[in-house]
Structures are given as C-alpha cells and as structure tokens.
Structure 1
Amino acid sequence: MTKRPLVLLDVDGVLNPARRHTLRLRRYECVLDGQVYSVLLNARHGAELAALARDTGAELAWATTWEHHANEHIAPRLGLPALPVVAVNGDPGSRAGEHFKTRHVAEYVAGRPFVWFDDSLGAHDWQYLKDHPAVGEFLLVEVDPRTGLTDGHLARARDWLGGAGAPGAGLRPLPP
C-alpha cells in the first residue's frame, strides 16, 4: 500500500508574506488569545494548494505556530477546509541547529513522503530529517518571507510529488 504524501504548510512568511498590501494580497485582522494580528493573504493560494493536493494525491496539513488557529483564521479565507495540524508549539530550542518545528514534523510524517513549505528551513533541517528514522522521502521548499509562496514553489512541489504516489518512485530528499 502506498503512503499518501503530505504537503506541510507554514503560515507566516509563506501564506502571509512580510510585505505591504498588494493587489493580490488582502489584509485581515485575526484575534488569537486576545492579541490582534494582521495577515496578508492571497485568495488564489487556496485553490492552487487544493489543486496541488488533488492532482498529486497529497494531503495538506498545517505545520505552523498558528496550529489549530490556522483552521479558524487562515483556511476559510483561502477557501480551504479544516486541515490536520502538526503540533509544533511547546518545545523551544534545537538539538542540532534545526528549527524547533523540524522535530515535530519528523515525528508527524511517520515515513510518509512530504513537501514542506516554510521560510525558516536550512541545511540543519535537511540533515536532521535525512538522519531521522521516522522520515522517508521529502522535499524542503524554503520560501522567501518577503514574497511568500509563488508559482515556482508550487511547480517545484508538483514536479517532486509527481512520483510520490507511485510505488517504487524512488524519490530522493533534496537539500534546500
């Protein structure tokens, strides 16, 4: 049985770029635990991510410090359903220079192939995932937080996932 691949999504820096409002980005105010946050979202991203998942047989999931708040504040504004959540909060720090979310992702994927869109990934994350016994094939897509998710990022993921659903596809982890 083939394991369905995952597409892991960060919010800040990926779906919510760190720049001013543009014609493609709409500003929203979100209240989380009494704190008001302003986010910029591109409504097209929802349809593009849904198409990526549908066309490649992948499952979308949140890998963000927003955790379940992403289903309340981000998903509906992008036209996405509630997604599974990788619990990443509560364990600050690094063991080998990796981002604090990386250990949680390694446990969550449980051998499933995955693509991870994040703006804070690097060589330490790639090495940690490559060496982790619960991690199979993966692709890290580092997103520039100033621009956020682009068509190029989605195309790279689509190309890589093209073989993820087929038995014996021979996917190889690629460094960022």
Structure 2
Amino acid sequence: MDGALLLLDVDGVLNPVRRSSPRFRRFECVVEGEGFRLLLDPRHGAKLIALRRETGVALTWATTWGERANQEIGPKIGLPPLPVVPIDGDPPRPHGVNLKTWHVAEYVRGRPFVWLDDDLGPADLEYLHGHPGVGDFLVVAVDPRDGLGDAHLDAARRWLTTPRRQISW
C-alpha cells in the first residue's frame, strides 16, 4: 500500500516481558547510564524487511526508545536505521489515551498505517478514529508476555495488501 507506515513499538512487542521461546536472545544495553535487559528475536528484522519488500510499507519506530531504537534495537535484529515518530513532552489528551497515541496521530498525516503495540485500548482507538488527519489504520495488539509473532505480521500483511476504497465526501 503506497505511503503506508508500519509503526513498531519495542517493549512488549520486540522485547517481550518473558522469554516465550528459545528464539529470543538476551542482550544488555546501557542508555543514559541505566542498564536494560532485552529479549530480542534476531529473526524479527528479516521478517519485517520481507514485509516491507512485499507491501511497500515504511517501517517506522513508534516507541519511547526514540532514536535509541536505531542504536540499541535495530542492529541487534538486523534492521537498518528507521524513521522515528517523535515522542517528546506530555501533551494534554483524553483520559486513558496512551502518550504515544497523540504523537502518532500528529505524525501520520493521513497516511494509512498498521501499528504493532502492546499497550493500546478502546480510548486510543476512539482518539485515532476522531482525530483529523488520521485515515485508515489497523492496530495489531501484541501480548507483552509473548511479543511479536508471525500471526501479527500476517495480520499486517493482509491489511496492507487489501485494496481500500477511497471515500469522497
């Protein structure tokens, strides 16, 4: 889908809270003097790049890791540097709406997107549906205990390859 984005979260998606499979490897990193333990599947990068190749989607970080995702996460799973949704500040937003949701709504500028995240709920979907400048989108909920799996990528692939009708008012 031309111009579409695939928004990637890190914690809970690429970095699950538990080692749900032997495919995940342990990594350590230090960010601003604080140590982090990561569980990452090195095959995720190749799978995401294949999805990009098949659908033309632009892989984009949508994580509070920000640019650090390009330094600490991407290289460990085989991803090149990706654009980053800037998530800075704490803008006013309705109760129950995730901090990232406001920033994503401002970033997409009408482009269709698939968002892989583990921490979005009904308030986030309502906010996105009602926000000017947000067009077609699919949120793929990832269980933070298990992280990203093939079924999540298959859902994204199906949505990205399904023709959309343009609605004119």
Instruction: Specify the TM-score bucket, using the shorter chain as the normaliser.
Output: over 0.9
Alignment of 1:15-164 (within 5 A): 15-20=14-19, 22-91=21-90, 94-163=93-162
The answer to whether the 8 Å contact 1:137/1:171 transfers is no
Could you tell me which residue of structure 1 aligns to residue 165 of structure 2? 170
Structure 1, unpaired ranges of 5+: none
Q: CA RMSD in A?
A: 1.8
The answer to whether the 8 Å contact 2:91/2:102 transfers is no
| Deviation of 1:95 (Å) | 1.8
Change (3 A) 1:92 1:25: farther
Q: Name the CA distance, whole Å, in 2 between partners of 1:13 and 1:171.
A: 34
| Deviation of 1:21 (Å) | 7.1
| Deviation of 1:3 (Å) | 4.7
Per the normalisation by structure 2, the TM-score is 0.93
Q: Name the CA distance, whole Å, in 2 between partners of 1:171 and 1:9.
A: 26
The aligned amino acid for 2:49 is A
Structure 2, unpaired ranges of 5+: none
Secondary structure of the structure 1 residue equivalent to 2:7: strand
| Deviation of 1:89 (Å) | 3.2
The answer to whether the 8 Å contact 1:110/1:134 transfers is yes
Q: Name the CA distance, whole Å, in 2 between partners of 1:90 and 1:75.
A: 24
Cα deviation code 1:29-75 (max 9, x no counterpart): 11100101000000111011111111011000000010000000000
Q: Name the CA distance, whole Å, in 2 between partners of 1:120 and 1:21.
A: 18
Cα deviation code 1:116-138 (max 9, x no counterpart): 00000111111100001110000
The answer to whether the 8 Å contact 1:93/1:100 transfers is no
Per the normalisation by structure 1, the TM-score is 0.89
Q: What percentage of aligned pairs have identical amino acids?
A: 56
Q: Name the CA distance, whole Å, in 2 between partners of 1:120 and 1:88.
A: 15
Aligned length: 167
